[in-house]
Amino acid sequence: MRRIALVAVALAAGCFTATAAEKPVELRRDAGRDRVEANCTACHSLDYVLMNSPFPSAAQWDAEVAKMIKAFGAPIDEADAKIIADYLKRNYGS
């Protein structure tokens, strides 16, 4: 039983070490990046942006931002939503 506990502790320590070595995602510097970081990271990591780009078109980024607000309830006001969508289209669109 003690051996199982030691193995569990060792595995847990290994998991924390692996995640600590990950580099944080840094989005491209451009107007609106601060709004993306402030609003979008409330629900998910910035990896989401990089995983989806450069595939979405401008219309798809608009739809994605709208979906986050309407379907998932992201508390983003209309002005910030436009800034976020414009940033994503300029920097991560097709």
The pLDDT tens digits of the residues spanning 51-65 come to 887 789 999 999 999
Residue 7 located in a structural domain: no
The answer on pLDDT for 72 being more than 60 is yes
The encoded tokens of residue 29 equal 């510097």
Residue 17 located in a structural domain: no
Residue 39 located in a structural domain: yes
The answer on pLDDT for 12 being more than 70 is no
The domain containing residue 38 runs over which residues? 25-92
The pLDDT tens digits of the residues spanning 14-40 come to 555 455 567 888 999 999 999 999 999
Residue 85 located in a structural domain: yes
pTM value is 0.75
Polymer length in residues for the chain: 94
* Residue 53 confidence (pLDDT): 79
The number of distinct structural domains making up the chain is 1
Choose among 74, 94, 71, 54: nearest CA to 84: 74
In angstroms, the CA 32 to CA 35 distance is 5
